Homo-oligomer: A and B are copies of this chain.
Amino acid sequence: MKTIAYLGPPGTFSEEAALGWGGPEDQLLPLASIPAVVTAVETGAATFGVLPLENSLEGSVTTTLDLLIRETSLRVSSELVLPVRHMLATRPGLQLHQVQVLHAHPQALGQSRRFVERCLPGAATVAALSNSAALTDALSDSRPAAAITTRRAIELQSAATLAHDIQDHPNNQTRFILLGAEDAAPTGQDRTSLCFAMPENQAGSLLNALQVLAQARINLTRLESRPAKEMLGDYIFLADIEGHRLEPHVAAALQRLQEQTTFFKVFGSYPRYRPPTPDAPARLSSSPS
């Protein structure tokens, strides 16, 4: 049995990710913040921690990036990409045209603007702390209230779905990572996440770093910069590359890359996420054992 910590409360997309990784015998541990998830794993309160890393609309979760860069030596052992599906839910019996108050997390509200403008033009909106709390707030509201929430929260709180997939963008996805004491063993279909800083932030130095990867025929699947928290203009680059850090050509390239950098840290190597195909079982092949 393992314990998987995530950003709670139950019913959030983070819980959905945690459920994707956990088996029926595992225990899920909802915590109040992303740093709390990291601390839980570092102190043994949890075996693994689920962190949101990036969203296709909003970009990177900077809290997660900064924790990986500076605070923890835990490793990334798995990744998972979840579609973000926003649902409109309420207490059983209430109909769409009766809704006067809409509870929603500000981000979910911003991502469902078209639906809300068209189908709930007169509703007063109330900010909630999470997609799950939005439903709790709506169900306990004395007025005719609905919530923008998740499928999982609707299931947990026995609410009624008024509308599904109300998000503006069809390609709204969030990528989660699983943090643990060690990263994953090579599978032949892996990804490695790392960060580095260059002696000078000029075209030449970053170019040299990317050339090391290109010469080794290693694909870069993501490149992101974060401020080094020193002066403006000093950046730490976060990169995802294809391959496992233990594969010889990757190990050699990382070694050459490290020699060019003033700061270098590998977050871990792990199987690349592949969405389940209709025929495949729903369990993830990248689930840690």
Contacts and interface: CB of A to CB of B under 8 A. Distances in A.
Interface in A222-259: 222-227, 229-235, 241
A176 to B, nearest CB: 11
A73 B211 CA distance: 34
Contacts of A31: none
A2 interface: no
A143 interface: no
A204 interface: yes
A221 B225 CA distance: 12
Given A56-B230, A169-B229, A229-B56, A235 B207 contact: no
Interface residues of A, number: 40
Contacts of A206: 210, 220, 223
B231 A171 contact: yes
A206 B219 CA distance: 11
A214 B225 CA distance: 19
B203 A213 contact: yes
Given A229-B57, A229-B169, A214 B220 contact: no
Contacts of A213: 203
Interface string A67-85: 0000000000000010000
A218 interface: yes
A2 to B, nearest CB: 27
A225 B224 contact: yes
